[in-house]
Structure formats: C-alpha cells, structure tokens
Amino acid sequence: MIGALLLLLMLGLMIVRLGQLSAPIWKAKGIGWVFGSTWAPANGIFGALPFILGTLVTSAIALLIATPLGVGTALFISELAPPKLRRPVGGVIDLLAAVPSVIYGLWGIYVLLPILLPLERGLAGSLGKVFPIFAGPIGGNGSGFFAAGVVLAVMILPTISAVSREVLLTIPRDVREASYALGATRWEVIRMGVLPPARAGIIGALILGLGRALGETVAVLMLIGDVPAVNHSIFASGYSMASVIANEFSEAIEHLHVQALVGIGLVLFLVTVVIDIGARLLVRKTGGFA
C-alpha cells in the first residue's frame, strides 16, 4: 500500500512540477498555442499541433502493424508451435526488446528506408489521388511518419508479443480440452475458448506497446524527418513531441522556448494518461477487467 501511495505521489509531483516549469508559456500564449500549427521559436511563435499529430500518427501506424504481428506471434508460440520451437522463437522475439533504440534508428536509415522508398512512391502514385493520406510529398530518402511508424512497430512488437503470450498461457488447459471434447477444431478453440478470456490482457499488452511508441525518441528522431509542419500524408516528413524535446532542449536559448518544450512534455504526459484511461474504460465496457 505504501508503494502504491508513493507511486501516486510521484505521479502527482511530476504533473505539478511540469506545470510549474511551463506556467509562463501558458500565461503568455494561453491554451491556444497547443493547437497552433506554426513552430518558429526565433520569432516567438510556438505551435505544438505538428508534434502532437506526429506522435499520434506514428504511434497509430506502429500499433496497426504490430498488433496483428504481436498477437499472431503469441498465438503461434502458445497454441500452434511444436514444443521444441516455442522457446527459441520466443527468445528471438524477446531479444528485440534489448536492442538499443539508436540501433533501430541506424537500421531504419540504412536498411529500411531503401526498401520503403519504392513502396511509398508506388502507393502515392496509385492511391494518392483517391486517399490523401497516401499522397505526397514523400520525405527525403523515404523518411517520414510511415518510416518512423514501421520502426516503432518493430520496437513494440516484443512487448505486445511477450505480454500476450503470458496472458494466453494463463488460460487453463481444461478450457482447451473441453472445447476439443465438444468437437471444436483448433481454430475454433482459439477463437471461442482462448481469445475471449484473454481479451483484457491482450488489450493491456497493446497499451504497454502504445506507451512505448508514444514516448520513443531517438529512433523516431532519426527517421521522421524533423519538419515541424502539419501534413496530411503519412509519407511526409514531420516531428513528434518526444523528438522535438530531445532535439531542441539543449540548444534552446530563449527562456520561453525552454518553457514551451517543457509544456510539450506535459502535453505528452497527459496524452499518455488519457489514452491509458480510455483503453481501460474500453476493456471494462467490452466485458474485460483492467
């Protein structure tokens, strides 16, 4: 109980301290600067919207890619793979979590971008006129929201897979055997006997993966393109909240610039909390527990 109270106290102190440090930017610009689309600190113009959208877009792309791969991998290891393959495959997936983010960034630049660039050009040419999110402009060398999202997907894949796998393994064996006894096929057992009771835990795994995607800094900074502008294409270059703080904080000279970066950190913190609360409410509404 003491530990829980200390964690809540620490959480409250973080919010209060970030609010105190960023108070001048809120007093000078009001809440409107959060929704501003122009970021020009040299001219005293601060708009955080490009960074908020960049964070949400890259995290959404990562989650869309990593969710089926992570949950599918967990199902394969826990339900389908032969016993001899379960430990090696699970170990390889878990090993991805130990790779430093800067290595993912370098891998993205030298390996992923040359592969993604022709794909982005093809999608922009074929689907760009129908779906604006696939239209150009494409970032230099293919860098942009999509490239950063793909790298984030690889980074959060071990978290989603490992947690989902542990949740699936907690489902009693009797549930599977009873389903087989009633004549269910393997896929029916997975769909009706395994996934429903594991739903809350799998959503929890997605929340953990999303939390890492929202706060990832180095890999996103290396691949997103560092353009503080609002773009409607997932192939365009952009910025994220975590990457702009890391990139500009040490070079910020004007006091208001520093306070704006701290304010962006506060917004990132609040966005993470809101998404977590929303996910937990979703779990409860769908019949799970969190």
pLDDT per residue as tens digits for the range 163-212: 899 888 888 888 888 888 878 888 888 888 888 888 888 888 898 899 88
Across 225-245, average pLDDT: 89
Average pLDDT over residues 86-105: 86
Query: pLDDT digit string (tens) for 43-66?
Result: 888 999 999 999 999 999 999 999
Residue 141: closest CA among 80, 215, 222, 209: 222
Nearest to 48 by CA among 217, 250, 229: 229
Contact indicator for 79, 117 with CB cutoff of 8 Å: no
DSSP conformation letters of 87-144: HHHHHHHHHGGGS-HHHHHHHIIIIIHHHHHHHHHHHHHHHTTT-GGG-SPPPGGG-S
Asked whether the bond before 137 is cis by omega within 30 degrees of 0, the reply is yes
For residue 286, what pLDDT is reported?
58
pLDDT for position 124: 87
Question: Nearest Cα to 60, choosing from 165, 156, 182, 198?
Answer: 156
pLDDT at residue 192, as a whole number: 84
Which range has the top average pLDDT, 92-101, 150-159, 172-181, 247-256? Answer: 150-159
Rounded Cα–Cα distance for residues 272 and 40 (Å)? 26
Quick: pLDDT tens for 114-135.
999 999 888 888 888 888 888 8
185 bridge partner residues: none
- The lowest-confidence range among 2-11, 109-118, 160-169, 208-217 is 2-11
CATH architecture of structural domain 2-285: Orthogonal Bundle (1.10)
Helix axes 113-127, 145-169, angle to 10 degrees: 110
**pLDDT, greater one: 3 or 12:** 12
Is the Cβ–Cβ distance between 152 and 55 less than 8 Å? no
288 φψ region: left (φ > 0), alpha (ψ -120 to 50), beta (else): beta
pLDDT band at 26 (very low <50, low <70, confident <90, very high): very high
Query: Which of 156, 147, 151, 153 minimizes the C-alpha distance to 226?
Result: 147
Please tell me the predicted confidence (pLDDT) of residue 287.
Answer: 54
Question: Rounded to whole angstroms, how far apart are CA atoms 265 and 272?
Answer: 11
Distances (CA, A) of 83 to 76, 248, 271: 11, 50, 41
pLDDT of residue 289: 43
| Cβ atoms of 22 and 262 closer than 8 Å | yes
Task: Give CA–CA dist 289/280, Å, rounded.
Answer: 8
HSE of 8, CA atoms in CB hemisphere, 13 A: 5
How many H helices and E strands in the chain? 13, 0
Range with the largest mean pLDDT of 148-162, 191-205, 276-290: 148-162
- Cα 114 to its chain centre, rounded Å, is 23
pLDDT band at 223 (very low <50, low <70, confident <90, very high): very high
Percent of the chain with pLDDT over 70: 98
Sequence ranges of the domains in the chain: 2-285
Select the highest-mean-pLDDT range: 93-107, 113-127, 144-158, 176-190.
Answer: 144-158
